[in-house]
Every structure is written in C-alpha cells, then in structure tokens.
Amino acid sequence: MFKTMGLPVLLLALAATHLAIAQSAPDPAAWPARDSHQGMLISADPYSDATRAKARFGKKHPQAHGVLAVDVYLRNDTDKPLRVTLDRILLLIEPPEGRRQRLSPLTVAEVLDRMLTKDRPGPDGPRPRLPIPRKDSRKEWRKLEELFSPLALTLGLVPPHSMARGFLFFDLDGRWELLAHAQLYIPEVRPLGGEPLLFFELELSPRAPR
C-alpha cells in the first residue's frame, strides 16, 4: 500500500496515527529520562519492576525472563519530518568496576525466544539459536506475538509536530542493578534528506515507581 502513496499522503496518515497516541499519552517532557534539542524530544521509561511489567504486559512479561522493556517517546516539534535510525540505538552500560557493554535492541521474535525457551544458559554461557516453535507452543507464540508486535517501536519516521511511541527490549539477564550505570544512546536523528542532528543520551538510572 505504501508503495502507491506519495510522501505527503503517507506523512499525513502517519501524523494522524501519532496524534492519537500523543493525545492518550502522558507528557514525555515530564519524564526523568529525557533529552531534547533542535526541536526533537526523546523520553524513556524502563520497566525493571516486575509489578509494573506485569500490569503492562500481562502475566507472562519480559521482566520475568531478564529482559528490560523501555517505553520510548519520540516527539518532533519541527516543521519537517524526522527519521530516527532505530537499528543504531544502543543501551550503553558502564559500571565503575566491570566490562563496558553495548547492547542492541532485541527483535520481537528474540523477546519471545527469551520468554518461551526454558533452561536458558547463564550470563556467561552461549545463547541458544532462535528456535522454530513446536506444535504445542505455536499457539502461545502467536498469542504473545499479537501482543508484543503492536507495542514495539518499529517506526522511525516522525512527521512534523507529531509523536511516535513504542517499546525497545534489551537482554539484561535479570541484572537490574546495571540500570544504575545505563544510558539509552540514539546516535542518529535526521531530517529527510538532511544532516543528522546531535546525538541523544538518556540516563536510565532507577527511580521510585510512579
């Protein structure tokens, strides 16, 4: 469908979707984890608490399997569409004592793999390859995929004066103490056909539950 739509029409359609999201969302400018410049505001809310994660995702949730879900807002206050290069986003972890880590977001399929694979190895062991769901697990796989796919941040194009929202997922192996030394790093936000803006860094240190 998108191949037959011109860019202005597509942007209007996207803007309508993001406007509906913005109207139902809390003000991202009030979140402790945020960064803003050159007309772009990015805010993030990590779900490291099991109670919050269960309330948002249901009984089977990522936090119970060591996966951090980060609710991300992208607000474009400029007159031009802005594109966020999602595949370059990183979770940077720099503990005072220990090895620096650079974690890329998990895909929805990888999140489901973490949630449905039993007896996963420890943090120093090898990761299992993404399994083909067995017959007895396909129903559960599809059910979780229907839940998580719409929640994931997959659209990096934010129309003018609009907002996008979605979750990014990172495998922390349940080491929630690392959040005290974690940053969400967004290295590239650019106008369509223009030069990149400055990079964005959001501190994800734990805070009291709201």
d(CA 152, CA 52): 17
The pTM for the full model equals: 0.79
Give me the pLDDT at residue 25, please. 57
Q: Is 87 exposed, middle or buried (0-12, 13-18, 19+ CB in 10 A)?
A: exposed
**Residue 150: phi, psi to the nearest 5?**
-70, -20
Q: Comparing C-alpha atoms, which of 98, 83, 111 is closest to residue 186?
A: 83
Report the pLDDT value the prediction gives residue 169, as an integer from 0 to 100: 98
- Pick from 209, 206, 187: nearest CA to 198: 187
Task: Write out the DSSP string of 134-193.
Answer: PHHHHHHHHHHHHHHGGGB----EE-TTEEEEEEEEEE-TT-GGGGGGEEEEE--EEETT
Mean pLDDT by 10 residues, the chain (210 residues): 46 46 63 90 94 94 96 94 93 88 95 80 46 61 93 92 95 93 94 85 70
Report the pLDDT value the prediction gives residue 97, as an integer from 0 to 100. Answer: 80
pLDDT given for residue 208 in this prediction: 37
What letter does residue 3 receive in the DSSP assignment?
Answer: G
**pLDDT score recorded for residue 123:** 43
Termini Cα distance of the chain: 41
Instruction: Show me where the domains of the chain are located.
Output: 2-120+129-203
Contact in structure between 158 and 164 (CB atoms under 8 Å): yes
Secondary structure of residue 20 in the 3-state scheme: helix
Instruction: Determine the Cα–Cα distance for residues 155 and 125; give it in Å rounded to an integer.
Output: 33
Q: What is the pLDDT of residue 29?
A: 79
C-beta of residue 26 within 8 angstroms of C-beta of residue 186: no
